[in-house]
Amino acid sequence: MTLREGARRALGVLLGPLILLSAAAGLAAWQADARLVEGLTLLSLTVAAALAWQFHSSRSLTGAVLLAGIAAAARFPPLSMTPDGRPPLLLPLCLGALVPLNLVVFALARDRGIGNVSGLTRLALVLAQGLAVVHEAQYPNQALATAAGGAVWPWVDAAVLAGCSLFMLLRVYLYGAPLDGGTVGLLAASGLALTTGSPVFVLAGGTSLALSLVQHSYSLAFLDELTGIPARRSLRQELAGLSGRYAIAMIDIDHFKNFNDTYGHDVGDQCLRLVASRLSRVTGGGRAFRYGGEEFTVLFPGKAAKDALEALEQLRRTIEENPMILRGPDRPRRKPMEVSTSKGSAQKVTVTVSIGVAERTDRLPEPEEVIKAADQALYRAKKKGRNQVCR
């Protein structure tokens, strides 16, 4: 993955939270009606919790509970005031560190759903922390209250929030997961809500959480889980909106069954991801999809087959000229202090593909017919010896 690809993917999942936080800042400056903001905040948290329940995401549900805790701490006098009428200094300080840490821990832990021991344990942990913080805020321990009144604690909160945010931004850059982008939005929203006391940032956080769940559901439906490129359902949707001229290329990895039998399915999966990464950089205006198994599709809207040939030939050469490196069984789990130059620790395997391409014509007016023609061209490429492009 190049720096540009990681940045583009990160921007895709962070754009929504950034827009929502900017809008929240505008509402805070505009001093929107408090009751309207509270109603919208309750609605956003309810929608986020309902979506989390629908998608069995305990991570997202606990995020909604944490946001609700922040909103409650600022809204209700039993939480926002001590018995003698003073604001509990320890409450925002504890929330300022606990909320980011909880969000990061839940992002790292495997999400096993809600209605089971793992999901219920997460909720119980969050609720127990909330009760402990509320109790400490109402009946403060003198030593903790003195420490909370010191000048160092706000800096500790700021350091925790900054560290958690940077860690989640790195995860977004590396993996581009929508739920990680939503967590970044939650971190920013919770920090601003606790700093400014404005409920509009809780509203932004709840909406960001709901948006990340929608993006996550889209990824599950339209992106291939193994390779990360658009899946067959996405191809069908794309084809349904096409009109006029277009070309379709069908691509198959040569001898993939033998490759799997020789090196194992884990290495086979690595091979699929490698080919998919090359396909995602196809030129000529093409867009790659995983069709199924070891087959891929590249769609060229507005192009004839002859116009796509150069891009497909370049793609074929790129895959062939960049062999896959198989690590030896004696490879250490950790990187050694000195790099060994002995032979046999790694093996290079050349991966090749066969490609067939066809275009929409009066004789082939439907996408299914163009795909069938491209499949026939692919069969001719294999029959001629593989590792070539045929029309």
Alpha-carbon gap, residue 211 to 53, rounded angstroms:
14
Tell me: pLDDT of 78 over 80: no
Mean pLDDT of the chain: 83
The H or E element that residue 97 is part of is helix 90-108
Token pair, residue 326, equals: 């198989």
**Tens-place pLDDT, residues 266-300:** 889 999 999 999 999 899 999 999 998 999 999 99
**Residues tagged active-site:** 294
Token pair, residue 372, equals: 């069938």
Residue 162, CB-side half-sphere exposure with 13 Å CA sphere: 6
Assign 301 a pLDDT band (cuts: 50, 70, 90).
Answer: very high
DSSP secondary structure of 242-311: --S-EEEEEEEETTHHHHHHHH-HHHHHHHHHHHHHHHTT--TT-EEEEEETTEEEEEEET--HHHHHHH
Alpha-carbon gap, residue 286 to 359, rounded angstroms:
13
Question: Looking at this protein, which amino acid is placed at residue 201?
Answer: F
Alpha-carbon gap, residue 311 to 251, rounded angstroms:
13
Token pair, residue 179, equals: 């739920």
State the pTM of this model: 0.73
Tell me: pLDDT of 127 over 70: yes
**Tens-place pLDDT, residues 130-152:** 887 777 666 766 666 565 555 56
**Tens-place pLDDT, residues 302-340:** 999 999 999 999 999 999 998 888 765 544 444 443 434
Tell me: pLDDT of 79 over 60: no
Tell me: pLDDT of 262 over 60: yes
Among 48-52, 80-84, 309-313, which is the least confidently predicted range?
A: 80-84
Nearest to 61 by CA among 127, 16, 157: 127
Tell me: pLDDT of 348 over 50: yes
DSSP secondary structure of 349-378: E---EEEEEEE--SSS-SHHHHHHHHHHHH
Residues contacting 97, CB < 8 A, separation 6+: 156, 157, 160, 161
Start-to-end CA distance of the chain, whole Å, equals 31
Among 10-19, 51-60, 321-330, which is the least confidently predicted range?
A: 321-330
Residue 389 DSSP one-character state: E
Residue 379 has what pLDDT?
Answer: 95
**Tens-place pLDDT, residues 210-238:** 999 998 888 888 889 899 899 999 999 99
